[in-house]
Amino acid sequence: MTENKESSKPMQLEVQMDESTAQGTYANLAGVTHSETEFIFDFLFLQPNQPKAKLRSRIISSPVHTKRFLSALQENIKRYEERFGVIPERPVTLTQGHS
């Protein structure tokens, strides 16, 4: 049995985007929820000393793609920390008002 040489080559993917999308959107807070068939990622912007966060983007993804995304994030964080040092983990505390 011979292997199909075309299927063994990695596919080159060309990504097209408009200028606005290429600029990106800043988010400093994220929420994740899921059902049996999909994961939902909400990316938010929380201004300092404000009780409300604004939803900047919602991404809906399949479980298979979400797991691949997690793997890609873990690999990129590992590479980042090898180059720039460990990213500190700080707990997220959402409070209103002052004591």
Per-residue pLDDT at 96 exceeds 50: no
**Residue-level pLDDT at 37:** 98
**Residue-level pLDDT at 10:** 82
Distance CA 42, CA 55 (A): 7
Contact of 24 with 57, CB cutoff 8 Å: no
Mean pLDDT computed over 41-61: 95
For the chain, which residues make up each domain, given as ranges? 26-84
Amino acid symbol at 70: L
Q: Taking CA 50 as the corner, what is the angle to CA 47 and CA 51, rounded to the nearest 5 degrees?
A: 125
Cβ atoms within 10 Å of 6's Cβ, excluding its own:
6
Model confidence at 63, in pLDDT bands (50, 70, 90)?
very high
The dihedral of CA 41, 42, 48, 49: what is its sign? negative
Per-residue pLDDT tens for 29-38? 999 999 999 9
Per-residue pLDDT at 3 exceeds 80: no
